[in-house]
Structure 1
Amino acid sequence: MPPEPPKAPAGAAPEGPRRAREVETLEEFDAVALGGSFADCRVQAVDLTSRTFALLVTDTSQAVFLGCPMEPQALAHVRAGGALVFPPVPGLPFDPYRARPYRPEELYAGLAEGGYGATPDAQTYAWWLRTSAERDVFASMLRSIHDDAVSDALDERLGGERVVGVMGGHAMERGTPEYAGAARLGRTLAAAGLTVATGGGPGAMEAANFGAYAAAYDDVMLGKALDVLAGTPSFTPSVDAWASAAFEVRERWPDGGPSYGLPTWFYGHEPPNAFAAHIAKFFANATREDGLLSRCSAGAVFLPGAAGTVQEVFDAATANYYGSHGDPAPMVLVDRAHWTTKLPAWPLLQALAEGRSMSGRLALVDSVDDVPAALERLDG
Structure 2
Amino acid sequence: MDATPDEVETLAELRIWLDKRTLSGLAVQGLDLTGISLADVTVEDTLFLGCRLNAPEAADLVARGASVVPELAHAPYPTHPSTLYTAADLTVGFEASGFAGMYDSVVYRHFVEHGGPLPPIREALSQRLHDHGIDNALSDALAAWASASTGPVVGVMGGHAEPRGSVAYREAATLGRALADAGALVLTGGGPGVMEAANLGAYVPSAEALDAALKELSAAPYFVDHEPYTAAALAVRARYPSAEPWAGGLSIPTWLYGHEPANLFAARIAKYFSNAIREDTILRAARGGIVFAPGKAGTVQEVFQAATKAFYRSDGASGPMIFLDRRYWTDVLPVEALLRPLFTQAPEVPAVVHLTDDVDEAVELLTTHRPA
Residue aligned with 2:355, SS: strand
Q: How do residues 153-164 of structure 1 correspond to structure 2 at under 5 angstroms? A: 153-159=137-143, 160=146, 162-164=152-154
Question: Deviations along 1:153-191, whole A, 9 cap, x unmatched?
Answer: 111111125200000111111111211111110010011
Q: How do residues 251-270 of structure 1 correspond to structure 2 at under 5 angstroms? A: 251-255=238-242, 257-270=247-260
TM-superposed deviation, 1:81: 2.5
| Inter-partner Cα distance in structure 2 for 1:337 and 1:201 | 25
Q: How do residues 15-26 of structure 1 correspond to structure 2 at under 5 angstroms? A: 21-26=6-11
> Residues 43 and 377 of structure 1: is their aligned pair in 2 closer, same or farther, counting only changes over 3 Å?
closer
Query: 8 Å contact 1:169–1:304 — kept in the other structure?
Result: yes
Q: Which residue is 1:7 aligned to?
A: none
TM-superposed deviation, 1:34: 1.0
Task: Give the TM-score normalised by structure 1.
Answer: 0.89
Structure 1: stretches of 5+ with no match in the other structure: 1-18
Q: Which residue is 1:15 aligned to?
A: none
Q: Output the aligned Cα RMSD.
A: 1.9
TM-superposed deviation, 1:50: 4.4
| Inter-partner Cα distance in structure 2 for 1:174 and 1:367 | 20
TM-superposed deviation, 1:27: 1.2
Rg comparison, structure with higher value: 1
Question: Deviations along 1:348-380, whole A, 9 cap, x unmatched?
Answer: 011111142435121011243431123256659
TM-superposed deviation, 1:225: 1.1
TM-superposed deviation, 1:330: 1.1
Q: Which residue is 1:30 aligned to?
A: 15
* Mapped pair 1:358 → 2:349: yes
Q: Which residue is 2:188 aligned to?
A: 198
Query: 8 Å contact 2:86–2:268 — kept in the other structure?
Result: yes
Query: 8 Å contact 2:158–2:293 — kept in the other structure?
Result: yes
Q: Which residue is 2:82 aligned to?
A: 99
TM-superposed deviation, 1:328: 2.9
Task: Give the TM-score normalised by structure 2.
Answer: 0.91
| Inter-partner Cα distance in structure 1 for 2:120 and 2:69 | 19
Q: Which residue is 2:229 aligned to?
A: 242
Q: Which residue is 2:359 aligned to?
A: 368
| Inter-partner Cα distance in structure 1 for 2:351 and 2:90 | 40
TM-superposed deviation, 1:73: 4.4
Q: Which residue is 1:85 aligned to?
A: 68
Query: 8 Å contact 1:170–1:203 — kept in the other structure?
Result: yes
* Mapped pair 1:346 → 2:336: yes
Q: How do residues 225-304 of structure 1 correspond to structure 2 at under 5 angstroms? A: 225-236=213-224, 238-255=225-242, 257-304=247-294
TM-superposed deviation, 1:24: 1.2
> Residues 379 and 354 of structure 1: is their aligned pair in 2 closer, same or farther, counting only changes over 3 Å?
farther
Question: Deviations along 1:283-330, whole A, 9 cap, x unmatched?
Answer: 111111110111112111100000000011111100001110112321
Question: Deviations along 1:253-290, whole A, 9 cap, x unmatched?
Answer: 10062400000111111111110110001111111111
Question: Deviations along 1:110-159, whole A, 9 cap, x unmatched?
Answer: 01111122122111112222222674112112211211221111111111
| Inter-partner Cα distance in structure 2 for 1:294 and 1:88 | 29
Query: 8 Å contact 2:309–2:315 — kept in the other structure?
Result: yes
Bigger RCO (CA 8 Å, 6+ sep): 2
Query: Which residue of the other structure, out of 210, 226, 229, is the alignment partner of 1:222?
Result: 210
| Inter-partner Cα distance in structure 2 for 1:50 and 1:89 | 21
* Mapped pair 1:143 → 2:127: yes
Question: Deviations along 1:56-88, whole A, 9 cap, x unmatched?
Answer: 332223211111012444334323333211112
| Structure 1 residue runs of 4 or more that deviate by more than 6 Å after TM superposition | none
Query: Which residue of the other structure, out of 168, 176, 197, is the alignment partner of 1:178?
Result: 168
Q: Percent identity?
A: 39
For residue 359 of structure 2, what is the amino acid of its counterpart?
A: V
| Inter-partner Cα distance in structure 2 for 1:20 and 1:128 | 34
Residue aligned with 1:56, SS: coil
| Inter-partner Cα distance in structure 1 for 2:87 and 2:35 | 28
* Mapped pair 1:67 → 2:50: yes
